[in-house]
Amino acid sequence: MLFYEPLFLFLFAPAVYILYWLFGAGRSGRLFVLLLASLLFYGWSEPVFIFIVFASLALDLIVAREIGRHPAGGGMSKGWLALGIVSNLLILVYYKYAGFLSTNLDALLQFLSLPGFSLWKIALPIGVSFIVFEKITYLVDIYRGVSQPTKDFRLYMLYVFFFPKLLAGPIIKYHDIAYQFEECRHAGFDDVTLGFSRFMLGVIKKILIADTMAQGADIIFSHDPRFLEFTDAWIGVIFFTLQIYFDFSAYSDMAIGLARMLGFRLLENFNMPYIAINLTDFWRRWHMSLTSWIREYLYFPLGGNKGSQARTYFNLCICFLASGIWHGAAWPFIIWGAYNGVFLILDRLFLINWLRHLPDWISNLLTMIIVMIGWSIFRSESVDQFCHFLTAMISPFVATGLPAHIPVDYFMMMAFGIFICFLQRLSLTLKDFDWESLSSRFPVAVNCFLSVFFVAALAKGFADPFKPFIYFRF
């Protein structure tokens, strides 16, 4: 169920908010409505997998109770934590990586002239990566003493299934949201108006910009990569660079807006990543909930930067390989993770210092070239496609005679997307020129502006085939 589908907009969401305001005067009523809505929302998309999550939730609650009963850092608490983490990771490995592992094992066996190996087709449940990571944070937070085992299983179920962030994040750490679920305060008028404005912004970004960029990217990336020209390759990468940002940040906007309308405040997931002046800066701004999760639950436990320089670089490589694997069970994702890890090491070695001597706009441009080459890996269906794509990107004087045909309106929307990113950079130098300041200073004008484009976005969304969010498959 997509947030901008008629089923959600005109049936599910109105029903949830009507029930919320009718029966949500007390905390128990609000909890009941929110939990019921969240279970229906996920069960609609995953009617089978939801029961596996139920079983896993029950195990989590048992494990969390046992971790809390034993001394922190002791053998028993470590053993229970290991059980909880492994059981959750097994769900992820089976549903997301079993097919990839079996395919590569089969290829290896055939290369060695041994009998092949095949595995039945396994459907990837929506949002499984986000669910597993959040469930792990609950167990680790209890082990570290940051949080206590919940005494009300409904709160933990709501934490896992809370429908605004369920399918594609932001990844919410348990200790960041636990007190809000325990309080479960009633939404006020400001929550509803500000939340709906944020939701409208997300719908506009998704349907008007991201989906248009997706159509342009699909044209280029479906082209035979052997006959791709230099200009088309870069145009395709720019299309995808804009698509993935406006698509994923749009979902975050919708999730944050819907949660705010229910009285909850989710942490931001993006902070103008395309104004970054180095790759380290980029990863502080892009998918911040994932970056924060990897830093707290993988990088620091590995030792972070407290060991030798070589150990720090090793930890960075492990973390970004894990990030690549988290995004998808395919070699391009793994290569993309390693690519980012290498450039973060180069940042620490010399690149940041070198870029500091350049004007910010040049550093920004060079950083974006690095990011876009990375996106070309991310978007490619295979290593072979990426190799051909990269060859075209670095071959300006090679003509194949087979240019791709792209409608003019796609270029117009591309220019608009680039213009928005330019305005984000401009907001660093002009006082009160950011979205939040403008929204607070001119609320009526901003909401009228959003309403017009929101209606236009819905009209386009109803007319065109629905395009799922990119991160649904992760």
Q: Catalytic residue numbers?
A: 327
Nearest to 246 by CA among 218, 223, 222, 274: 274
**What is the rounded CA–CA span in Å between residue 69 and residue 76?**
9
Nearest to 375 by CA among 249, 245, 240: 240
| Long-range contacts from 322-329, C-beta under 8 angstroms, 24+ separation | 322/294, 322/298, 323/290, 323/294, 325/97, 326/129, 326/133, 326/290, 326/474, 327/378, 327/474, 328/473, 328/474, 329/96, 329/97, 329/99, 329/100, 329/101
Length of the chain: 474
**Residue labelled with tokens 């490995």:** 93
**What is the rounded CA–CA span in Å between residue 474 and residue 468?**
12
Check: CB of residue 228 under 8 Å from CB of residue 389. yes
**What is the rounded CA–CA span in Å between residue 10 and residue 462?**
13
CA distances from 202 to 14, 185, 251, 255, 399 (A): 18, 24, 6, 9, 39
CA distances from 382 to 277, 335, 379, 386, 458 (A): 30, 11, 9, 6, 34
